[in-house]
């Protein structure tokens, strides 16, 4: 850890901050890397305060901190090139220090508590490769020793990848909504938006095999997918099965059930599917959401333009 003698702060604040850092490791048992990050973030905060206040800060200065002082700190860090995640972690470190001091009657954490953390960039699951996606949905790759449960898992995952469904949409299906002669699903997604999801033969085959093996009576008005005891299948079960498959198939941590929906969109786009159609298949309200979701870049858009525009 950095030598605290090099940190600009008065003795009382030096000592209190040292006690806080020790408490993170000993009492709260935070990981070493987390403690190091908090030490670094609060060190940068004290360096900022030295310039902001015109001299090394002490406990009195910390106790009089205003929200405006914290905003100025984040603005300085942003100007130095810090991103939203770094700023958010920095604010978390300062808040933790102030809460520690507040509990000991040395400062108030009200100003920090009133601060909103910088908006974090929306992270999206990375798509699986086409070959990995095929392995994940394959009945032969399922890990359950119970044949009907293996078939059930394969059917659920095939719906996510083959139709671009959210896991809640797949598990919300009633038994009467999919079967012989059904060529598309009417899916109600977020915001009550309804869309049609065409059913590929491979999806129908996976569901039919699950129906054949399922030991429970799949009446039309009840859940299609059942848990081991016959109740409606819960998302946590599917997520846990996917976690096991990640380890067995040596897949990255980003291989989640939702990543199959992302893979559905990305692979369609890569094979020449147009954004507007993919938007409808995913049930997105705006095209911009689909563009971000599928990771479209300018070169890909230009490629679509070159192939499709009459004047290209």
Catalytic residue among 190, 193, 240, 276: 190
Establish whether 211 is a catalytic residue.
Answer: no
Establish whether 190 is a catalytic residue.
Answer: yes
Write out 103-171 in H/E/C secondary structure: HCCCCCCHHHHCCCCCCCCCCCCCCCCHHHHHHHHCHHHCCCCCHHHHHHHHHHHHHHHHHCCCHHHHH
Cβ–Cβ under 8 Å, residues 152 and 206: no
Residue 175: DSSP 8-state:
G
Pairing of strands 194-198, 184-188: antiparallel
Whose CA is closest to 104, among 67, 139, 59, 68? 59
Establish whether 152 is a catalytic residue.
Answer: no
Catalytic residue among 166, 195, 211, 262: 166
Establish whether 293 is a catalytic residue.
Answer: yes
Establish whether 166 is a catalytic residue.
Answer: yes
Catalytic residue among 78, 135, 258, 300: 258
Establish whether 77 is a catalytic residue.
Answer: no
Other Cβ atoms less than 10 A from the Cβ of 94: the count is: 25
**Residues noted as catalytic:** 166, 190, 258, 261, 284, 293
């Amino acid at each position: 850890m950095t030598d605290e003698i090099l940190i600009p702060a008065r003795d009382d604040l030096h000592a209190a901050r040292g006690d806080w850092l020790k408490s993170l490791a000993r009492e709260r048992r935070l990981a070493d890397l987390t403690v190091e990050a908090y030490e670094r973030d609060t060190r940068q905060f004290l360096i900022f305060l030295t310039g902001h206040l015109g001299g090394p800060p002490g406990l009195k200065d910390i106790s009089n901190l205003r929200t405006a002082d914290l905003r100025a700190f984040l603005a300085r860090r942003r100007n130095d090139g810090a991103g939203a995640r770094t700023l958010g972690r920095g604010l978390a470190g300062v808040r933790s220090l102030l809460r520690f001091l507040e509990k000991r009657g040395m400062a108030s954490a009200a100003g920090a508590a009133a601060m909103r953390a910088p908006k974090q960039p929306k992270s999206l699951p990375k798509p699986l490769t086409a070959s990995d996606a095929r392995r994940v949905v394959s009945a032969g790759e399922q890990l359950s020793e119970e044949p009907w449960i293996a078939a059930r898992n394969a059917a659920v995952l095939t719906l996510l990848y083959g139709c671009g469904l959210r896991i809640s949409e797949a598990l919300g299906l009633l038994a009467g909504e999919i079967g012989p002669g059904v060529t598309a699903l009417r899916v109600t997604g977020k915001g009550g938006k309804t869309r049609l999801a065409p059913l590929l033969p491979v999806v129908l085959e996976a569901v039919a095999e699950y129906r054949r093996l399922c030991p429970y009576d799949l009446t039309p008005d009840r859940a299609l997918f059942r848990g081991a005891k016959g109740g409606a299948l819960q998302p946590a079960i599917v997520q846990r099965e996917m976690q096991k498959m990640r380890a067995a198939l040596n897949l990255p941590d980003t291989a989640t059930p939702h990543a199959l929906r992302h893979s559905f969109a990305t692979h369609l786009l890569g094979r020449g599917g147009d954004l507007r159609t993919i938007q409808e298949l995913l049930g997105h309200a705006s095209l911009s959401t689909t563009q971000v979701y599928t990771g479209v870049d300018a070169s890909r858009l230009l490629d679509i333009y070159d192939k499709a525009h009459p004047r290209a």
